[in-house]
Amino acid sequence: MPNHGKRKHDSEGEPSKRVKMIAASGNAAKESTTVKPAPDLNTKDVQNADNRREKSDKKLAQEKGSTLANDGSSKDKSSERNKSNRRKLAPVRPFPTVPTSVSATGPRSAHTEGKNYICITRKTKLGAYLRRCKNVFLKDGYKTLHMSAMGAAIPHLALLTLSLPPILPFPPDEVHTSITTGSVEVHDEVIPEDEDEDIDYQTRTKSTLNVVIKIGDGDEQQAVEKVKKVQKKAQKQRKGPEAKGRIQQTDKPEQIVLQEPEQDDMDFDRVIF
């Protein structure tokens, strides 16, 4: 009997123990899931921390900017030095701008030969080139036009070749264009910083574009005849005034000039009354 009593007591105490264990486990789970609240910070401390961060960020930005500026200034200085030490020489032209028979210092209207050879540059506008090329075909009587460009002037020449045929009074079947590309070696003179050292020369390649526009067969007999006529007229005009001046000088009588004495040299007689 006493054994049965103990068992009953144990059985009655087991559920209470179970409840206690469950409650303890629940409290542990709650404690594990709950996060400890952060300590309260004063607004002054937060502002001070933000100010410190801003100051540090500004310092870093200034340091980066100074380093970048120094790098850029050093690069600019090195490029300026290279530019100052390097002198670009004039490139070789495919054909002379002015023929040898004509003076280069005279006006372009006086040039009779070589008008159909044009070197294209960026300095001259497209409208001026269009008028000049049109006059080569219509006024001068040429049937072929040679144009050349180099480097940055190539787009200018390409635009000129596209815009020139529509303004010419010729059918499109008679206008023939041929385009050739190439390259030319250009020389640069490198001047050393030390005067004792010798001057060095370096070569670099530049692209070229040559355009030939022909009308029909490209016969230039009319242009050659016109050039000869213009040359004859110019020779006559040069000889005419020179001969007339010589004749006038021989026909006119020579003028005799008498020098009058000055008043200081003249002797005045005194008249006594």
% of the chain surpassing 90 pLDDT:
29
In a domain, 81, yes or no: yes
Band (73; pLDDT cuts 50, 70, 90): low
Residue 28 lies in a domain: no
* Residue 69 covered by a domain: yes
The partner residues of 117 in beta bridges, in order of sequence, read: 146
Let me know if residue 239 belongs to a domain: no
CATH number at 118 reads 3.30.110.20
Total number of domains constituting the chain: 2
Domain assignment present for residue 257? The answer is no
- Dihedral sign from CA coordinates of 64, 65, 66, 71: positive
Tell me, yes or no, whether 112 and 218 share the same domain: yes
- Write the DSSP symbol of residue 41: -
Q: What is the pLDDT of residue 193?
A: 81
For residue 74, being part of any structural domain is answered with yes
Q: State the Cα–Cα distance between residues 97 and 148, nearest whole angstrom.
A: 11
Measure Cα distances from 143 to 126, 130, 203, 214, 272 in Å.
Answer: 21, 16, 37, 6, 96
CB 105 within 8 A of CB 119: no
Ramachandran angles phi, psi of 125, nearest 5°: -75, 165
Query: Is 113 in the same domain as 215?
Result: yes
Residue 157 is predicted with a pLDDT of 96
Shared domain check, 120 and 72: no
**Owning domain of residue 76:** 49-86
Q: What is the pLDDT of residues 157-202, one digit of tens each?
A: 999 999 999 999 999 999 999 999 999 999 998 888 877 888 888 9
As a 3-state breakdown, the chain gives helix, strand, coil percent values, each rounded to 5, of 50, 15, 35
User: Has residue 2 been placed in a domain?
Assistant: no
